[in-house]
Structure 1
């Protein structure tokens, strides 16, 4: 890349300063690749070493005395802590050392807890085990500034939420998910401000909204139907956040907020095109101070505030960013007329599909065009199983949609070829 620089300088094409800048750029780029490879290798190495130690110990476990078992249980933890201490004082600037030692210590803590419980027959359940494990490992995220430990912690508290919400049905314990999540917010904020487009930040952009969606299940109580409002408002927040600021410039595959917000909202709307769901909604009774109702009020308020902020900034709004307002309106309408709520939901889905098709045509985007067509196809497919139409009429509908796919793509490609010519 740099071998032609002297010739370019001699010919007067570039200045010597520019040549030095180019050399520095490629030198820095060459250094980054091995560091990234070393980072991945370190994390994988730590995982393999930990698994290997566990397998070796497990093979001879029954033949060992209790005292020997205890020593072996704490040995990996002590080694991991020693490596973590060495990293803090000697290798703090090395991301490979920080990430690998944090990963090794993270799993060592969990393995030590599980094996001590097995050796001394300490009673407990998976929820309390996960809670203790995550609290013990949270300091690793901040002390070693480890993004991988942060991801593991986020996955762990999500499993804790699901287990305590569905496995043990201990609602009081399940609520512990929310303070556990708040403890990670300072690190995520720092990561978002300093490295918003890095790979570890992208992983957080996916795992955090997924965790929030699953974490809402901890609020299931007496008025479960109201939780649909909370979910739609949360998905609206994801859509608004994912289409604002730094996240807006990320490709869709790296923007978990936008992807989950749009896809989740579409999925809920398509599910509510069925009359049965609105029938269940019309029968529920409001329980004041129920966790679902509080969550729905708070999330809806936050979504409306974000919507107003974006509207005041004169930023463009996609229908999926404010569709939660229509859903709340239909939710209230279902108590008056289930049929009206069902029909309006189907019309809303159709309108969003047509809007997406129009947006794809205006932006000359085959992706958006086909997404809108897929949205309408999904609606027709659901009605295929939910209506009294004859097979001939159903077949004609699919033929019409298929024809629409063909001609829409044909005219879009023809339009492109015309412009290129």
Structure 2
């Protein structure tokens, strides 16, 4: 029950804002909602309990493993798996609540992995870590929809990210690309769409709003093999996709902390462009148009164009926002200015300054101190970067820092003053 809101009901009745009958109806509504809602704390402890039980069984078996015969080892390898399957079947057939399904599904997920590992060890079946994880993921993927489990979807995302990391980064020189990751992440998307439709404002949906961009950010680098210079462009395009998705009204109307796409996109663009603001970056030996990275960059660019085009079609673009178009400007600059260090460096610095000013304007328009100070932080970061790679005197550098510090104080002061005057006007 929303206790704070319920406590306000007597005051609202006293002030004749609502009638006593309406207050009683509201209280009953929240009581009924609380009764029908699953116990989240119980669900969390159920999942944790399953994890601890699974780990405890593994530790007990591991301690006495060498004393068992091969047949006994095989029985112990499959026994947890059978128990996990029976618990899941019991949850489904008896139509148990979400806690039962989450706990049994989590237990079965880890028993599948342990059984595969144990059988491979007992019978000396060869294989590498990425193949093992891939087999594990594919076997457990149907459980996401069979149990409608959020925890299994989270585990799925975590393990496919690890699979791609293991194949792409740990075996970097093998030139393997984890293309299967794209199939695996697509498997979990229908579950995510259902959460967006039916649990838009729930915390679990917010977790996925952060996990998807985090996973894609980690994994994109595994697709960079032959032409590493294009990796920066690929990441700019990916972060632009995140930002443009985050500006869709469905996500943009939510609280900022729940919009992982917008935050990942904005921070990613700014950090990468600050990295590229040094003249030492703008140098490349050759440009490979038929490399894997070139095709991926083209695909990411087209996705950005499609999102922007759809936003224009739906009339979502109410005002100009440089962040939403930076991928076009940077794409042209990146391909045209690779061997022109001076031009590339100057334009990128101007772009970063413009992004900072754009962010400040957004903060002022929304009366949002966090966004306002983020814009000032972008400009401060640019000044700090130039502090280390220019020959300006310390007096000029000091004056720059004083100017930035004063801008922090003045903009926040003016914003606070406007906010107070607005509150006074509303009271009148």
The reply to whether TM is greater than 0.5 is: yes
Once the 2 structures are TM-superposed, how far is the Cα of residue 336 of structure 1 from its aligned partner? 5.6
Q: Deviations over 1:264-283 (max 9, x none)?
A: 11111111111122213xx3
| 1:219 and 2:223 correspond | yes
Whether the 8 Å contact between 1:134 and 1:156 is mirrored in structure 2 is yes
Q: Deviations over 1:87-146 (max 9, x none)?
A: 111125x11111111111011111111222223332221111111110111011111111
| 1:199 and 2:203 correspond | yes
Aligned to 1:119: 122
Whether the 8 Å contact between 2:281 and 2:341 is mirrored in structure 1 is no
Aligned to 1:390: 393
Does the C-alpha gap of structure 1 residues 362 and 108 become closer, same or farther in structure 2, counting only changes over 3 Å?
Answer: same
Aligned to 2:378: 375
Whether the 8 Å contact between 2:38 and 2:98 is mirrored in structure 1 is no
| 1:258 and 2:262 correspond | yes
Aligned to 1:351: 354
> What is the CA–CA distance in structure 2 between the aligned matches of 1:95 and 1:34, rounded to whole Å?
7
> What is the CA–CA distance in structure 1 between the aligned matches of 2:346 and 2:36, rounded to whole Å?
56
> What is the CA–CA distance in structure 1 between the aligned matches of 2:366 and 2:180, rounded to whole Å?
46
Whether the 8 Å contact between 1:222 and 1:287 is mirrored in structure 2 is no
> What is the CA–CA distance in structure 2 between the aligned matches of 1:53 and 1:318, rounded to whole Å?
55
Does the C-alpha gap of structure 1 residues 20 and 359 become closer, same or farther in structure 2, counting only changes over 3 Å?
Answer: closer
Structure 1: 5+ residue runs without aligned partners? none
Structure 1 segment 75-154 matched on structure 2, within 5 A: 75-92=79-96, 94-154=97-157
Once the 2 structures are TM-superposed, how far is the Cα of residue 23 of structure 1 from its aligned partner? 4.7
Aligned to 1:302: 303
> What is the CA–CA distance in structure 1 between the aligned matches of 2:202 and 2:175, rounded to whole Å?
36
Cα RMSD for the two superposed structures: 2.4
Equivalent pairs, count: 410
Once the 2 structures are TM-superposed, how far is the Cα of residue 152 of structure 1 from its aligned partner? 0.4
Aligned to 2:181: 177
Aligned to 2:294: 293
> What is the CA–CA distance in structure 2 between the aligned matches of 1:171 and 1:260, rounded to whole Å?
28
Whether the 8 Å contact between 1:148 and 1:200 is mirrored in structure 2 is no
Aligned to 2:273: 269
Pick the aligned partner of 2:369 from 362, 366, 391.
366
TM-score, structure 2 as length reference: 0.89
Deviates more, 1:46-55 or 1:97-106: 46-55
Aligned to 1:405: 408
Does the C-alpha gap of structure 1 residues 32 and 376 become closer, same or farther in structure 2, counting only changes over 3 Å?
Answer: farther
| 1:234 and 2:235 correspond | no
Whether the 8 Å contact between 2:359 and 2:375 is mirrored in structure 1 is yes
SS of 1:75 mapped into structure 2: helix
Once the 2 structures are TM-superposed, how far is the Cα of residue 151 of structure 1 from its aligned partner? 0.9
| 1:51 and 2:55 correspond | yes
> What is the CA–CA distance in structure 1 between the aligned matches of 2:196 and 2:366, rounded to whole Å?
30
> What is the CA–CA distance in structure 1 between the aligned matches of 2:47 and 2:387, rounded to whole Å?
49
> What is the CA–CA distance in structure 2 between the aligned matches of 1:202 and 1:366, rounded to whole Å?
22
Once the 2 structures are TM-superposed, how far is the Cα of residue 394 of structure 1 from its aligned partner? 2.1
> What is the CA–CA distance in structure 2 between the aligned matches of 1:127 and 1:136, rounded to whole Å?
14
Structure 2: 5+ residue runs without aligned partners? 1-5
Q: Deviations over 1:165-187 (max 9, x none)?
A: 11124545622111122222222
SS of 1:385 mapped into structure 2: helix
> What is the CA–CA distance in structure 1 between the aligned matches of 2:177 and 2:110, rounded to whole Å?
23
Once the 2 structures are TM-superposed, how far is the Cα of residue 419 of structure 1 from its aligned partner? 4.5
Does the C-alpha gap of structure 1 residues 204 and 308 become closer, same or farther in structure 2, counting only changes over 3 Å?
Answer: same
Does the C-alpha gap of structure 1 residues 15 and 361 become closer, same or farther in structure 2, counting only changes over 3 Å?
Answer: closer
Whether the 8 Å contact between 2:177 and 2:223 is mirrored in structure 1 is no
SS of 2:74 mapped into structure 1: helix
SS of 1:73 mapped into structure 2: helix
Does the C-alpha gap of structure 1 residues 34 and 90 become closer, same or farther in structure 2, counting only changes over 3 Å?
Answer: closer
Once the 2 structures are TM-superposed, how far is the Cα of residue 33 of structure 1 from its aligned partner? 5.9
Whether the 8 Å contact between 2:282 and 2:340 is mirrored in structure 1 is no
Does the C-alpha gap of structure 1 residues 33 and 41 become closer, same or farther in structure 2, counting only changes over 3 Å?
Answer: farther
Whether the 8 Å contact between 1:225 and 1:284 is mirrored in structure 2 is no
Q: Deviations over 1:273-331 (max 9, x none)?
A: 11122213xx332141x221111111101101211221233323532122111111211
Whether the 8 Å contact between 2:165 and 2:219 is mirrored in structure 1 is yes
